[in-house]
Amino acid sequence: MIAVRTHHGARALIGALAYVEDARGAAMGEVVELRQAGQPPRRGQVIDASDGLTVIQILEEPIGLAPARVAITLTGATAEAPVGRELLGRTLSGVAAPLDDLPPPIGEALRPVWGAPMNPVRRRPPGDFIETGVSAIDGLNTLVRGQKLPVFSGAGLPALELAAQIVEHARAGAGEPFAVVFAAIGITARETRLFVERLRASPARSRTVFYLNEARDPTIEQLMTPRFALAQAEFLAFDAGMHVLVVMADVAHYCETLRQVAAARDEVPGRRGYPGYMYTDLASLFERAGVLHDRPGSLTQLPILTMPDDDITHPVPDLTGYITEGQVVLSRELHGQGVFPPIDVLPSLSRLMNAGIGATKTAPEHRRWADQLYASYARGREARLMATIVGEAGLSDPDRRALTFAADFERELIGQGHARRTIGETIAVGWRLLAALPRDDLERIDDATWARRPGAAP
Amino acid sequence: MTTATVTRVTGTLAEARPLREAGLYELVRVGARGLLGEIIRFKDEIATLQIYEDTTGLAVGAPVIATGAPLTVTLGPGLLGAMLDGVGRPLARLAAASGDFIAPGASAPTLDPARRWAFTATAALGAAVRGGDVLGTVEEQPGFVHRVLVPPGVEGALAALASGDYTVDEPIGRLADGTALTLAQRWPLRRPRPVAERLPADRPVVTGQRVFDLLFPLAEGGAVAVPGGFGTGKTVIEHGLARHADADVVVFVGCGERGNEIAEVVQEFPRLIDPKNGRPVMERTVLVVNTSNMPVVAREASVYLGVTIAEYYRDQGYRVAVMVDSLSRWAEALRDIAARLQEMPGEEGYPTHLASRLGQLYERAGRATAAGAPTRTGAVSLVCAVSPPGGDFSEPVTQASLRVAGGMWALDASLARKRQFPAVDWALSYSLYTDATAAWFADAAGLDWAAVRTRVLALLQRDAELREIAGLLGHEALQDRDRVVIDVARMLHEHLLGQSAYDPIDAACPVAKTGRMAALAVAALDAALAAVERGATIDELELPALRRAYVALRAAPPDAIAARAADVERAIAALEVRR
């Protein structure tokens, strides 16, 4: 890449895109500054470099920019983020400008915001149990370090509250350094406040960096916010050796912005107008989670996304689910019944659960315990559906028992409220619920496991 | 070598001129870092390049060097046990060069250039040899004989050939016309390798999964598509096959999927022992890995790379199984490239050539007599996961796959949510290989495989009908003989079709045990129905005891199968005891 050069005037300004003619030596991803008398300076980046028309994506509000007067400077550099331990406790904008009346962060290093893919052979398979204190997660959809486990929410459901509770309660091992990176992507100030306030009283506060792009901020910046946050998270995890939990909310906003930019460039739209490369783009965020050989830290992601119309087949949750290692799905029905956290465990899944459970990590019988709870609850839910048609009297005896079980399960195991439960407490609640069923209904539990359950006759 | 300059960079594509001397699909090196790319279009003065690496920072005016050759892979000893990226670079040596994160422009040869192999010459000097003839052998892994072949298209009199220790690049001999022969050969990965004759399927690839071996078998040389929404267990099935499938060589292509899953394979396969020869599974495996955040264009190449390696071992006379996870990510790479070329989109934005490209890919599966002497028979079998958006099978990649695949293992989200795995929708799935493989199975299991299969399918069908009725009219509306069907079918769903990938014994089921379990389920149904016919009520039958015996059979290790099966037989005989 060559040195700084400035062009006067743009050929066209369309939405957040500027078109510049003959921008010699423009490079893909090159950082651009746009200046105009009487206007605040703006930043942008090259998304289509050409010896003809070069396309620049403007990251800030473009109102007032005049094609004839704007001066466009190509800086010769690609986007880099200041990263470091000193950023902990700071509140920054979506592109790492200070929002907390402190000077701009300098950090310990500058890192390319785009990151680089981890070499798959250098990845360590994640397998360290994270006790979140939430039964539906710890017991049935176990989270491990280095995993990416999104929360699929619906409008008005308490996804951020759940995330805040997890951040507050998640425990790293004794003396292990941990940190939280929070990326707000187009959420409201009220939502941000909710999260920040939950954290204020907790020890996690001083170990958190906030990257805030709220709904009132420039939308294009949303494409950069998670990347600034992840560059910082990667530094904390893999250079500073910390266990980092990244909370990103809301991925649906990010995807809408992606669609907006694609439409502005007249790209061929994919499903529901989202660009065909959205899978790849989302993967470039989510795949930055992981753990590496010979490095002590870990990067765990908890992205939050709102399913439009609670539709899990919508492209945003659908593509996310194909990339992430499972999902935690919130249920409007449970929320309506006052169950907190309102997690529907049937569509929820943690793909890395098996690596994080077992004798040395949680409990020796954890797998079969969870399988049986799932099987009995699924049967109960099926029976509930059937009962709406044929009535409870029309059910077989085992189905009637499963029906009762499902109600108890939702109330007692899922609906724990805001209290924290250890994994031991979670397992105990599960056994108590299973004990209400006759042995013959528990097909996923073998005799040896059954004999070892708590409270079994010796 | 011709050189040119970059005139445009947009995402994974670049344009350059002048490259008029270069050819279509010729490999290029772009920019100061030497990013790997390929020429995919010429229009007027401009050549369009697809770049296999991250283009951030690539500037207009950067140099382009055409290499004069298409994208090829080096085939030779050292592939087994290797982990390659989508364009054939070994990931371990990339890590040694550029660290934990992959830097663009890094390069490393596919095969270790320093390693020496003990070559034993078998071809006779002076003989006329041609493409596919065996020149000699190398022990590539303990007990695995790598046959060194004359490259396709090469022929002549063998002027020199000597046993000895060689690297993959050193000449092991030459032809009369001076052509040097080496342990390794290069092959363009988009082109199928030639065979002498394609053969029909006559035996299965035993998967160790009861639901597939019994109901929807995969034939050797066959191809099946495995469509399923996210969380339905595609990857677990693909990994299970890579572990347990009875093939000589397994090529696993992780195409656009998760890095953490690959890490699991990388950790597990070297430790996992293949019961057939007592060696680590990794020694028979080639991993091709292009995770979802690695460059999208290399994702397109990765599938061809995997299939080309498979064909190379087929040509040596081996039975090779290829797992692709997931073909949808490959199709999306095609879509991404086509969109950037502003091609007219077909269905759902996919290019109109999607179906034909898919067809060509699936057709590279097959059983064949290899070219050359001595006569060898090999096979490439293909299992492709497909990830339909929203789990909707009407989408183009699933539909185009079904037109060319010989089977479909359809995965169902509602079964997955009940944690019924493998979550195979038996009503939607099919295999065109049942007839071709039935005789082999019958022989291996010692029972009438086709008849048992038909009975199991009939039972599943009847159970679905009855449950529909029960769902409308209530359980009360069913007679005892119908309830017996539902009861036995539940046992069948849970314990015959259901199989735990995480249980060391259950993860892979021997053919004889699968057959025995299926036959016993059918016998149990017959006995229970006969008892009801004689006037017993369902509550008088010892169905719980039967189920317990059946669960014990499922959990039985190989040396206990006969005893547990005898227990089930006794439980069937004692069904009416309560009366």
> What is the dihedral sign for C-alpha B518, B520, B526, B531?
negative
In B104-260, at which residue ranges do the beta strands (DSSP E only) sit? 117-121, 128-130, 134-141, 144-149, 155-161, 164-166, 171-175, 180-182, 185-188, 197-199, 204-205, 218-219, 223-227, 249-255
Q: Give the percent of chain B with pLDDT over 70.
A: 99
Strand order in the sheet with A298-306: A91-93, A208-214, A178-187, A243-249, A298-306, A151-153, A326-330, A343-350
The helix (H) or strand (E) run that includes residue B63 is strand B63-70
Best residue in A122, A227, A368 to probe B by mutation, most B CBs within 10 Å?
A: A122
Q: What contacts 24+ positions apart, CB below 8 Å, involve B540-543?
A: B540/B576, B540/B578, B540/B579, B541/B484, B541/B575, B541/B576, B541/B578, B542/B571, B542/B574, B542/B575, B542/B576, B542/B577, B542/B578, B543/B484, B543/B487, B543/B488, B543/B575
- B86 vs A: CB within 8 A: no
CB–CB of A118 and B102 under 8 A?
yes
Chain B partners within 8 Å of A443 (Cβ): 494-495, 547, 551
- B309 vs A: CB within 8 A: no
Give the model's pLDDT for residue A127: 92
In three-state form (DSSP H/G/I as H, E/B as E, the rest C), the secondary structure along A261-305 is HHHHCCCCECHHHCECCHHHHHHHHHCCCECECCCCCEEEEEEEE
CB–CB of B8 and A1 under 8 A?
no
Give the model's pLDDT for residue A229: 97
pLDDT band at B1 (very low <50, low <70, confident <90, very high): low
Per-residue pLDDT of B287-336, as tens digits, reads 999 999 888 888 989 999 999 999 999 999 999 999 999 899 999 888 88
Best residue in A48, A118, A444 to probe B by mutation, most B CBs within 10 Å?
A: A118
CB–CB of A386 and B231 under 8 A?
no
Amino acid identity at A98 = P
Per-residue pLDDT at B579 exceeds 60: no
Per-residue pLDDT of B324-370, as tens digits, reads 998 999 998 888 888 878 888 888 888 999 999 999 999 999 999 99
- B339 vs A: CB within 8 A: yes
Chain A partners within 8 Å of B327 (Cβ): none
DSSP secondary structure letter of residue A157: S
Q: In whole angstroms, give the CA distance from residue B145 to residue B140.
A: 6
Amino acid identity at B446 = G
- B391 vs A: CB within 8 A: yes
**Which chain B residue has the Cα nearest residue A118?**
B101
Classify domain A81-354 at the CATH topology level: Rossmann fold (3.40.50)
- A319 dihedral zone (left: phi>0; alpha: psi -120 to 50; beta): alpha
Select from 3.30.300.130, 2.40.10.170, 3.30.470.10, 3.40.605.10 the CATH code of A5-78. Answer: 2.40.10.170
Give the model's pLDDT for residue B578: 58
Q: What is the total residue count of chain A? A: 458
Chain A window 316-375: which residues touch B at a Cβ cutoff of 8 Å? Answer: 318-319, 321-323, 325-327, 346-347, 349, 351-352, 354-355, 367, 371, 374-375
Q: In whole angstroms, give the CA distance from residue A184 to residue A194.
A: 12
Amino acid identity at B382 = L
What residue ranges do the domains of chain B occupy? 3-70, 75-108+196-429, 117-183, 446-573
Of B231, B332, B413, the CB nearest to A276: B332
Give the model's pLDDT for residue B345: 84
Give the lowest-confidence range in A409-423, A444-458, B248-262, B436-450.
A444-458
What residue ranges do the domains of chain A occupy? 5-78, 81-354, 366-452
The helix (H) or strand (E) run that includes residue A343 is strand A343-350
Beta carbons of B24 and B52 less than 8 angstroms apart: no
* Interface confidence (ipTM) of the complex: 0.90
Per-residue pLDDT at B448 exceeds 60: yes
Beta carbons of A298 and A123 less than 8 angstroms apart: no
CATH of domain B75-108+196-429: 3.40.50.300
Most confident of A167-171, B96-100, B206-210: B206-210
Classify domain B3-70 at the CATH topology level: Elongation Factor Tu (Ef-tu); domain 3 (2.40.30)
Chain A partners within 8 Å of B10 (Cβ): 28, 47-50, 55
- Rounded average pLDDT over B436-464: 96
Chain A partners within 8 Å of B416 (Cβ): 349
Chain A window 294-313: which residues touch B at a Cβ cutoff of 8 Å? Answer: 295, 313
CB–CB of B60 and A27 under 8 A?
yes
**Residue A250 phi/psi, 5° resolution?**
-125, 130
Beta carbons of B267 and B244 less than 8 angstroms apart: no
Q: SS3 of B560, please?
A: helix
Chain B window 5-44: which residues touch A at a Cβ cutoff of 8 Å? Answer: 7-11, 15
- Pairing mode, strands A178-187 and B180-182: unpaired
CB–CB of B59 and A29 under 8 A?
no
Give the model's pLDDT for residue A421: 94
Domain A5-78 and domain A81-354, same fold? Reply is no
pLDDT band at B445 (very low <50, low <70, confident <90, very high): very high
Q: In whole angstroms, give the CA distance from residue B487 to residue B26.
A: 62
Q: Which residues of A262-274 are buried (b: 16+ CB within 10 A; e: fewer)?
A: beeeebbbbbeeb
**Which CATH class, in words, describes the domain spanning B117-183?**
mainly beta
Low-confidence ranges of chain A (pLDDT < 50): 1
Which tops the pLDDT comparison, B297 or B121?
B121
Give the model's pLDDT for residue B475: 83
CB–CB of B231 and A321 under 8 A?
yes
CB–CB of A393 and B9 under 8 A?
no
**In the numeric block, which tokens belong to residue A117?**
């893919």
The answer to whether the bond into B374 is cis (omega within 30° of 0) is: yes
**A447 to chain B, closest Cα gap in Å:** 10
- B539 vs A: CB within 8 A: no
Chain B partners within 8 Å of A440 (Cβ): 544, 547
CB–CB of B259 and A120 under 8 A?
yes
Beta carbons of A222 and A253 less than 8 angstroms apart: yes
- Rounded average pLDDT over B515-527: 97
**B202 to chain A, closest Cα gap in Å:** 36
**Residue B3 phi/psi, 5° resolution?**
-120, 155
- Block residue for tokens 């070598």: B1
Is the domain covering B446-573 a CATH 1.10.1140.10 domain? Answer: yes
CB–CB of A318 and B339 under 8 A?
no
